[in-house]
Chain A
């Protein structure tokens, strides 16, 4: 009788997603992000692509996959803006890598952990965007208001939790 053995936590809790989900969910997030602020301008504060990036990274627990997913989502997001292509791509690549690396170490199914990692990743994303715009692109008039970023992180965390629970249903164990 053949028995399966897991040598690490990563192998124990590594999830995968159907290709349709892996493709359509990021696309849907980018599409909603482009559509919603037109009738509801206040919703421009959301960053649905980042929520999806974090979810896939912590669920797959694979830093390479997390990095690639973040880069793809970020580059597609950049292509719709007037910014140089790569600003969001770089930020979300780093976020995907860190989220996947954290997912190996801690239990990311816990609600408190999810709140903390979402809040933290939104602040890290803001900081990375500030660094890229200010240092790499040399935009000296680029300012960031940390009070606003804290509010943005809190709102996005609140939105991320139900999305995480919805997307949990699409997981499949390998």
Chain B
């Protein structure tokens, strides 16, 4: 018997170790779920020892790296900072205007939610934390942050960045926490497709992708659609960005369903700082209320300014139309006023002859029927012989050199009296 153990010592040791670990795995997998804890107390203790060994070194190296980066970025690499500052100021101004445009809708939505007694959860308290390490295993997507139970963190609290959700706290140690990323194969979250409002369940995968595989084919779902947290999982508050649909294809393992792959909103591969949501409330926070009120006030001011500008433009347009109509309508004008206006008017002012009553043009070849050719009845004597009127208007001959062959251009004020015929001109030969 002794020789058996001696001879197969190596194999027996291997079998014993594998057996012990198999039993350990079975205990962990079959363990009834305790309240909020991902592992049993013994497993948590083993993890705690391992984390206690590793995290001091991680903190040390992270501190060195942080100091170097801080010194470089805050004291050395300050090129284009003024330009960036200017750009950011512009961006803030633009975002304020955008905020104003959304504030009214937000307030209205909030009022409707209150009316419908809809319980919305708003983020009220967060704890900022820095990422100090990873699991070091690409089959388990886990990060470690530098805040723990002493900072008020608890298991199952949501971890986010300003870009979107990151994951949830899996295990909490006194000064460190383990965060399970949403692309881990054991991760899951309730999500909502932003456009189609379809609810779904998001899962991680062994390759680090985030997938939705519980939806049947639907033509309304298109690549590029934004995906938000639905709040149904009781971990992530509703409405946080999760990602964007990258591709949709048939799931080969579950045939009626589709496999929707998402591009995460947060950069899960290079996380530096994260926010842990430690508290939510059903009403908006004071700061958010103030921001919303400021946005609404800006929106009202914008609307009032726009209304005033529209009113002024309408008045100007109406005045202009009335002026045009008044100018076009025929009216009686005083000759003296017209003459005065004619002498004072500039050529530019007299050019449009729109309000002038048409008058006959001056005659080119005058005869006895021409206006002014017949003497006044008061000058005539009954029975007297007809005399040639020397004052009759004469038309210049074409060969005359002292006068132009053509009459003068029509005056802009034709209502003026006809000019008296020049008596010095020789009379036209009568036929």
B280 to chain A, nearest CB (A): 25
A54 to nearest B CB, angstroms? 16
Residue of B nearest to A133 (CB): B139
Q: Is the CB of A90 within 8 A of B9?
A: no
Residues from 138 to 187 in B contacting A, C-beta threshold 8 Å: 138-144, 170, 178, 180, 184-186
Binds A, one of B52-60, B297-305, B374-382: B52-60
A118 at the interface (CB under 8 A from B): no
Cβ of B139: which chain A residues have Cβ within 8 Å of it? Answer: 81, 83, 129, 133
Instruction: Determine the chain A residues whose CB is within 8 A of the CB of B46 once the complex forms.
Output: 75, 79, 85
Contact B29–A84 (Cβ < 8 Å): yes
From B17, B28, B51, contact of A68 by CB (8 A):
B17
**What residue in chain B is nearest A46 (Cβ atoms)?**
B136
Q: Give A136 to B142 CA distance when docked, in angstroms.
A: 22
The answer to whether A35 touches B133 (Cβ under 8 A) is yes
CB proximity to B under 8 Å, residues A1-56: 27, 30-31, 33-39, 41, 44-45, 49
Q: Flag if A89 contacts B21 (CB, 8 Å).
A: yes
CA A77 to CA B207, docked complex, whole Å: 19
In the complex, the chain A residue whose C-beta lies closest to that of B268 is A41
Nearest-neighbour CB distance to chain B for A95, whole angstroms, equals: 11
Q: A interface, by DSSP: helix, strand, loop or mixed?
A: helix
A45 touches B138 (CB 8 A): yes
A37 to B253, CA, bound (A): 31
Across the interface, which residues of A come within 8 angstroms of B21, CB to CB? Answer: 71, 75, 86, 89-90, 93
From A108-116, A142-150, A155-163, A165-173, give the one contacting chain B. Answer: A142-150
B261-290 interface mask toward A, CB cutoff 8 Å, 1 = contact, 0 = none?
000000001110000000000000000000
Question: How far apart are A122's CB and chain B's nearest CB, in angstroms?
Answer: 13
B10 touches A64 (CB 8 A): yes
B369 at the interface (CB under 8 A from A): no
B43 at the interface (CB under 8 A from A): yes
State which of B10, B136, B184 has its C-beta within 8 Å of the C-beta of A37: B136
A136 near B25 with CB under 8 A, answer yes
Any B CB within 8 A of the CB of A99:
no
Residues on A with beta carbons closer than 8 Å to the beta carbon of B170? 82
Q: Which residue of A lies closest to B49 (CB)?
A: A79
Assuming the contacts A41-B269, A85-B46, A136-B22, asked whether A64 and B9 have C-beta atoms less than 8 A apart, the reply is yes
Partner of B18, one of A33, A94, A101, A145: A94
Residues on A lying within 8 angstroms of B by beta carbon are 27, 30-31, 33-39, 41, 44-45, 49, 63-64, 67-68, 71, 75-77, 79-90, 93-94, 97, 101, 129, 132-133, 136-139, 141-145, 148
Binding site for A on B (CB under 8 A): 9-10, 13-14, 17-18, 21-22, 24-25, 28-29, 38, 43, 46-47, 49-51, 53-54, 57-58, 61, 65, 131-144, 170, 178, 180, 184-186, 203, 205-207, 253, 269-271
